[in-house]
């Protein structure tokens, strides 16, 4: 399996997970390692794909992920980012 960096946009993020836009979403139960850029500060998060939507539907293609491993420092930074501080 080839590894590398892919850049995606996310929306509907909260402290538990996010929706990630992707034309090639991973299938449910896939574990993904994310580097999330929060206004220039990058945090690492491991997430599990909970559901995915392929291109061609009326809704945007992508996947819903649930954060499963995140350090306390990264979690605090994410909370600050989401609160607008």
Please check whether residue 5 lies inside any domain of the structure: no
| pLDDT of residue 37 exceeding 60 | yes
The domain in which residue 46 lies consists of 10-83
Please check whether residue 1 lies inside any domain of the structure: no
Mean pLDDT of 27-52: 93
Q: What is the number of alpha carbons within 13 Å of residue 42 lying toward its C-beta? A: 4
Please check whether residue 55 lies inside any domain of the structure: yes
Please check whether residue 64 lies inside any domain of the structure: yes
Res. 1 pLDDT band, cuts 50 70 90: very low
Please check whether residue 2 lies inside any domain of the structure: no
Nearest to 9 by CA among 17, 21, 18: 21
Supply the DSSP symbol for 76: H
> Any idea which residue has 């850049």 for tokens?
7
Q: How many domains does the chain have?
A: 1
Please check whether residue 26 lies inside any domain of the structure: yes
Please check whether residue 63 lies inside any domain of the structure: yes
Q: Over the stretch 4-36, which tens digit does the pLDDT of each residue have?
A: 555 677 778 889 999 999 999 999 999 999 999
Please check whether residue 4 lies inside any domain of the structure: no
Q: Over the stretch 53-79, which tens digit does the pLDDT of each residue have?
A: 999 888 999 999 999 999 999 999 999
Strand boundaries in the chain, DSSP class E: 10-11, 17-21, 31-38, 41-53, 62-70
């Amino acid at each position: 399996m080839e590894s590398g960096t892919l850049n995606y946009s996310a929306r509907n993020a909260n402290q538990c997970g996010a929706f990630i836009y992707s034309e090639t979403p991973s299938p449910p139960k896939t574990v993904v390692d994310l580097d999330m850029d929060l206004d220039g500060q990058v945090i690492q998060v491991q997430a599990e794909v909970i559901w995915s939507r392929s291109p061609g539907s009326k809704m945007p293609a992508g996947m819903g992920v649930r954060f499963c491993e995140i350090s306390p420092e990264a979690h605090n930074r994410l909370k600050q980012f989401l609160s607008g501080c």
